[in-house]
Amino acid sequence: MPADKSQNEKQFDRMLTDGLHRCEKTVSADFADKVLSGVQLRAQQKLLAKVILQERLALAGCIMASIGAITVIVFLQQITETLSRLMARLSGSIAQAIISGQFEWQPMMILTIAAAVAACGVFELFPAEN
């Protein structure tokens, strides 16, 4: 990796020197420093924007988790009753569909693929830096 960086720096220096030799206007001595500082500034701004996005997403996740926790605490009895009725109905209907051979696997496969794509998108949003 350091060899690639030094090679890129040498190539940049060569391209800058060639461009400055072709230029008819006089160029100040600190022109290369100004260009490099501009490049570094843009890289820092890009990294800062990425960090800000991650912080906003983390804040939104914390808010949603807090709202979810409060909702569960307040409506715990209603949630458990509803879920138990739903599971009783669902378990019976899934078992009957499998036994009768009418279980449609295509919609389940589409939902599984959609969930996998969503998970990959979340993982791509937060790549490892090192």
Answer yes or no: do 79 and 28 share one domain: no
- In which band, very low, low, confident or very high, does the pLDDT at 74 lie, cut at 50, 70 and 90? confident
The letter for the amino acid at 16 is L
CA-CA-CA-CA torsion for 96, 101, 104, 109, nearest 10 degrees? 100
The residue range of the domain holding 120 is 75-124
Q: Is residue 70 part of a domain?
A: no
> In the listed set 60, 87, 102, which residue is the last one of a domain according to the structure?
60
Q: What is the average pLDDT value for the chain, to the nearest integer? A: 80
Domains in the chain, number = 2
Which pLDDT does position 124 carry in this prediction?
Answer: 76
Q: How many residues does the chain have?
A: 130
Give CA–CA dist 37/31, Å, rounded: 10
pTM score over 0.85: no
Give CA–CA dist 48/51, Å, rounded: 5
- In which band, very low, low, confident or very high, does the pLDDT at 130 lie, cut at 50, 70 and 90? very low
Answer yes or no: do 79 and 117 share one domain: yes
Most confident of 27-41, 48-62, 70-84: 48-62
